[in-house]
Amino acid sequence: MRIRDVVIGANASMYYKLNFRKIKGVYYPRNTQEVIGAVKHAQSDGFTVTPKGGGSGLSGACTGGNDERVMISSLQMKEILTVSKDQGYVDVQPGISIDKINEFLNPMGMRFYVAPSSRDIATAAGVLSTDGGGNDTWVNGTMRDNTIRVKMVLYDGRLLTIDAKGVKSNDPDLEARLNEIGVTLHDVASSHGTLGFITEMRLLIRPVVEETLIGGLAEFSECNALGKVLTDMIERTSPVRYGEAITTAHKDVREGFDPPLLILEFPEENEVDIRDITDYKPLDSKELARMKDIRIKLPKRNPNEGVQFALFEGYGFHGDSLLNLQDSLNEVEALLNDHGMKPFGKYGHGPSKWYLGDNTPTYGLILHSREIRPEGKTGEELLDTVLAIVDKCEELGVTPKPEHKWPFSDAVKKKRLDDIRQVIGEGFNPFLLSPECNDVLGSMV
Amino acid sequence: MSYEKCVRCGSCLQFCPMFDATGEEQYSPRGKAYLLQVMDQIEDDEELGKEFRRLLFQCSMCGRCEETCSSGVDLLKVWHEQRAKAVETAPEEFEYLEPLKDALANVKNIYGLAEEDRAIYWLDELEDEIPGLADRVYEKGKTAENIIFVGCLMSFRSSQIDVLRSLFKTLEKLNIDYLVMGAEENCCGHPLYLMGDEKGTLKLREHNKKVIEAAGAKQVITCCPGCLIQLREHHEFENVEALHHTQFFDRLLEDPPKYHQTEEFSYHDPCELHRILDIKTEPRSLINKMGIEFREMDLSCCGGGGLLRMTDPNLSDLIIQLRAAREKVKETTVITACPSCREQLLGQDLETKDIVELLSSSLEGGTE
Ligand SMILES: Cc1cc2nc3c(=O)[nH]c(=O)nc-3n(C[C@H](O)[C@H](O)[C@H](O)COP(=O)(O)OP(=O)(O)OC[C@H]3O[C@@H](n4cnc5c(N)ncnc54)[C@H](O)[C@@H]3O)c2cc1C
Ligand code: SF4
Ligand code: SF4
């Protein structure tokens, strides 16, 4: 065992205590050929393969579980390959971060409109594999809405190109079989590295929109009122360009603000429409920047005592669960409390959009959650809490982990991935779909 | 332990020059913080321990990670503590640092050269050009408002002589009341500090403090940010202010003569100066006052800090080579204000000038 085999386990989820001896190789390829080489090594020795991007995912999917496996990092595949301003796309390698893409596009007056809070480190392929989004997903869609096509290396070294219509492959038989079962980009979105290694992506880019935006801060006495405002915004397709709710935040990091609150940015000309939905205090650009900064740092800052951790990254409140947000939250808080969890903060994108396992778009509030890391709880106990949360979500009509999906409980998505893997092979990240997944994750907490 | 606060978000990865140069996660701040978090799982493995200890010294202590981190991980402190622990745990792995430690213990400079020679090399070179310079060298009983702390690098390396020449010429031209510590100067202790050897630094600091106070100085001025870290943060002066030379001259000169600019300049801001000492405005203000046009380089590391030149010279070279290529500075003269950065730049045949060289030639009436 070498130190690089250990360090590849570094990731933002609470699943980070890996059995390092099971890692049989770590690769940092620079191009497709080197990816194929790494996959061949795994295949010939019977190891599974786990792709890793920035390691900022919060579901533990980039750990590879406890299989004897080869880890392939995309962090050295970070080039911009081509860009077409006229046709509105940029071709990139999978390991480039979202920020770097926009740093490149900025001088051209173009933009890639997906903005997770982790955009400084989250990679293009990582974000597609979790179908991530950000504070503007409401307007611009999730990662799948902004991806035109991907190229992928499969476990047996064959290559696929997948877009919204279907699949192309250098193997006509494989191509036909996958098209027969209707494989499209929807399947790659949120597949958590279970299909193959993405080596190249064509992403949708658009001109930077020149519009005058203004900021506002809406404050609420409780969250049902916030839920109602978000529901109205969704019903009226309000032109909110940036919408971030904070429902609770630890006193050490909320800088004097008193949630629940909703930070908004919208076009000046829609001031009346927004006022019609909610009262708000106007924010000048400096105040707005400060609020955004407070918000973006919430998943990173720690209380004066203790350390925050992501027990269960997010909740997708929609429909009735959004309209009764406070009631839904009370139930979640009670459950967390019963399991000995101290809340740190709940905040997130709203109004927003995400896809369900059957690819239906859904609109609501994606509320991220952080707790204070409890002392003395076993991994098993923590995972039990996670599973209880998943059940609670089902009961409340809340999507568990809307940005990352919870492949471990999303039966429709799981079945679909299984079906595709019957055709392309099952060598990539199999632990996620195996019955032992929960136990494996529990052992890594 | 503050590394426990690391949420492993990864934000620091892209800023770390070691990760940038190697592309592998073990060199990154997150990687090392993670190793500390899972240490209970790996500490029995001797080889891993050895690799980890080596990694701790494959870091230029540039502080970019700490600056980026929003989770309150005092990364520089962690690296210091872990370096100390590493040397204590496995001294045999750090034998290559012993000659440096011995030199500092015996002759109080990093080169192992005779203590009394500290003011010989540059004095020989500059005495004719700067009349009266020899009288500026401190001896018992002499006092002055300002005392110059030259530092080991500038005391002994010929590559630094142009900077010293400009420094002294400028001080003379501005009629500054100053002395140079000369043979009475000990190393500031920074190299030992970077090894985590707090104890070793105490004697050196004690001596310097005594001399500076005996000279009645109100200000101790140095061109070296590493020395300044020690002088300002660790010498515990009561009535002496430790200043970087750019701070001293910027305070003094409201409107220096304009520099006669014929070359293209870029500015490399030394990490220890701007990130660790938080001296950001004065160097730029001074350059601007001279009417010099320049472009800012990335606020990144040259690869010359943290003892990296000793612990992994290849990595240190790679860092500056990558930057030079990426930031296209070959055609420019790189302005900087740190003797270590200067060595790194010269090592790649890059043109470089310390800010005081520009100031000196402005005061003389244009470029040399
Ligand atoms: C501080 C913080 C804030 C966050 N904010 C948001 C947010 O606002 N919105 C949001 O959606 N998420 C957010 N996240 C979660 C995280 O950033 C996303 O899940 C992100 O998409 C993960 O990208 P990554 O590159 O880090 O992928 P990783 O975590 O490395 O991997 C995620 C998954 O992608 C797979 N994968 C990675 N690369 C490839 C590849 N080349 N081919 C195939 N599969 C691959 C992995 O196997 C794994 O299953 C946040 C996380 C943190 C730590
Ligand atoms: S930025 Fe801070 S919290 Fe994030 S990985 Fe680096 S050290 Fe850890
Ligand atoms: S101090 Fe600099 S070189 Fe060292 S880990 Fe931090 S960013 Fe990297």
| Each residue's pLDDT tens digit, B199-236 | 889 999 999 999 999 999 999 999 999 999 999 999 99
Contact (CB<8Å) A97/B14 = yes
The residues, any chain, with a CB within 8 Å of residue B111's CB and separated by 6 or more, are B103, B152, B156
This prediction's pTM = 0.96
β partners of residue A48: A69
Side by side, which strands form the sheet with A159-163?
A80-84, A89-92, A197-204, A147-153, A159-163, A167-169
CB of residue B163 inside a 6 A radius of ligand 2? no
Helices and strands, number each (H, E), in chain A: 15, 20
Residue nearest atom 36 of ligand 1, based on CA coordinates: A126
CB-ligand 3 contact for B217 (6 Å cutoff): no
pLDDT < 70: residue spans in chain A? 404-409
CA dist A3 and B229 (Å) reads 33
Closest CA to A20 of A64, A74, A54: A64
Give the Å distance between the CA of B315 and the centre of ligand 3.
13
Helical H segments across chain B, by residue range: 17-22, 29-37, 39-42, 46-56, 64-68, 75-89, 98-106, 120-126, 152-156, 161-173, 190-194, 198-214, 225-228, 245-252, 271, 281-289, 308-311, 313-326, 339-347, 355-364
Say if residues B34 and A16 touch (Cβ distance below 8 Å).
yes
B360 lines ligand 3 (CB under 6 A): no
> What are B222-281's pLDDT values in tens digits?
999 999 999 999 999 999 999 999 999 999 999 999 999 999 999 999 999 999 999 999
> What does the domain layout of chain B look like in residue ranges?
2-89, 98-251, 254-363
Structure confidence at residue B368 (pLDDT): 44
User: How far is A52 from B31, CA to CA, in rounded Å?
Assistant: 14
CB A11 to CB B8 under 8 A? Answer: yes
- Which residues on chain A are in Cβ contact (under 8 Å) with B4? 307
Q: Do A76 and B23 lie within an 8 Å CB cutoff?
A: yes
Give the separation between CA B230 and CA A117, rounded to whole angstroms.
38
pLDDT on residue B236: 95
C-alpha to C-alpha distance for A10 and A12, rounded to whole angstroms: 7
How do residues B137-186 score in pLDDT, each as one tens digit?
A: 999 999 999 999 999 999 999 999 999 999 999 999 999 999 999 999 99
Q: Show the domains of chain A with their CATH numbers.
A: 3-75+419-442 (3.30.43), 80-207 (3.30.465.10), 213-400 (3.40.462)
Q: Is the peptide bond before A430 cis (omega within 30 degrees of 0)?
A: no
CATH fold group of domain B2-89: Fumarate Reductase Iron-sulfur Protein; Chain B, domain 2 (1.10.1060)
**Alpha carbon B154 to chain centroid, angstroms:** 11
ipTM value: 0.95
> Does any CB of chain A come closer than 8 Å to the CB of residue B298?
no
pLDDT at A405 (0 to 100):
62
Q: What is the pLDDT of residues B92-113, one digit of tens each?
A: 999 999 999 999 999 999 999 9
Which of A165, A171, A168 has the alpha carbon at shortest distance from A184?
A165
Nearest ligand to the CA atom of B7: 2
Contact A73 B31 (CB under 8 A): no
DSSP bridge pairs for B285? none
Q: Note whether B79 and B56 are within 8 A (CB).
A: yes
**How far is residue A187's CA from residue A151's CA, in Å, rounded to a whole number?**
13
Task: Give the CATH number of domain B98-251; options: 3.40.50.1860, 3.30.420.40, 3.40.50.10490, 2.40.30.10.
Answer: 3.40.50.1860
Query: Measured between CA atoms, how close is A401 to chain B, in angstroms?
Result: 18
Q: Percent of chain B beyond pLDDT 90?
A: 97
SS (H, E, C) B51-90: HHHHHHCCCCCCCHHHHHCCCCCCHHHHHHHHHHHHHHHC
Residue A177 buriedness (CB in 10 A; 0-12 / 13-18 / 19+): middle
**B220 three-class SS:** strand
CB of residue A429 inside a 6 A radius of ligand 1: yes
Q: Identify whether the C-beta of residue A383 lies closer than 8 Å to the C-beta of residue A308.
A: no
pLDDT of B366 > 60? The answer is no
User: Which 3 state secondary structure label does DSSP give A262?
Assistant: strand
- Does residue B111 sit at the A interface (CB-CB below 8 Å)? no
Residues 6+ apart with CB under 8 A from A272: none
**DSSP designation for A123:** B
Of A242, A243, A245, whose CA–CA distance to A220 is shortest? A245
